[in-house]
Amino acid sequence: MPNGTMSAFLEYVWAPFVALFWWFITRLTSKIDDIEKDKADVGAISRMDQQVHELDRRIDELGHTTVPRKEYKSDIGLLHQRANDLERQKEDKVTKIRLIDNSKKDDSI
C-alpha cells in the first residue's frame, strides 16, 4: 500500500475511533455515578448504628418482652460461641483443598 493511501486512511478513520472511545468512557462514568449515588455515606451508617444501640438500650429499660432480655442476650452470646466453635472445628478438619477444573471436562459423555 502506498504511503499516501495509508495516511489518508488514518486521517479519516481516527475520528470514529475517538468517538467510540468517548462514548464508552461516558457510559462507564455514568454507570459508576449511578452506583455511587445509591451508596450510603459513613454518616448515615453511623447514625443508624447509634439509633440501633439507642433502641436496644430502651428495650433493656422497659423489660417488657416475651422473653426476658438477659436470657435473650445470653442465648445470642451462646449462639455466637457455638458458631465460633463450629468454625474452629471445621478449620481443624480441613487439611487439603483440591481445585477441580471443569473447563477441561469432556462434554460428550
Domain boundaries defined on the chain = 1-39, 40-93
Cell 464508552 belongs to: 24
DSSP characters over 24-63: HHHHHHHHHHHHHHHSPPHHHHHHHHHHHHHHHHHHHHH-
Q: What gap in Å lies between CA 8 and CA 11, rounded to an integer?
A: 5
Under DSSP, the state recorded for 64 is -
Q: What gap in Å lies between CA 109 and CA 103, rounded to an integer?
A: 14
**Mean pLDDT over the full length of the chain:** 78
pLDDT band for 56, please (50, 70, 90 cuts): confident
Q: How many CA atoms lie within 13 A of 66 on its CB side?
A: 0
Reference 53, options 64, 63, 65, 45; nearest CA is 45
Under DSSP, the state recorded for 39 is S
Return the higher-pLDDT residue of 104 and 36. Answer: 36
| Predicted TM-score (pTM) above 0.85 | no
pLDDT band for 24, please (50, 70, 90 cuts): very high
The pLDDT, as a whole number, for residue 29 is 93
Cα-based torsion angle of the residue sequence 52, 56, 62, 63 in order, rounded to the nearest 10 degrees: 150
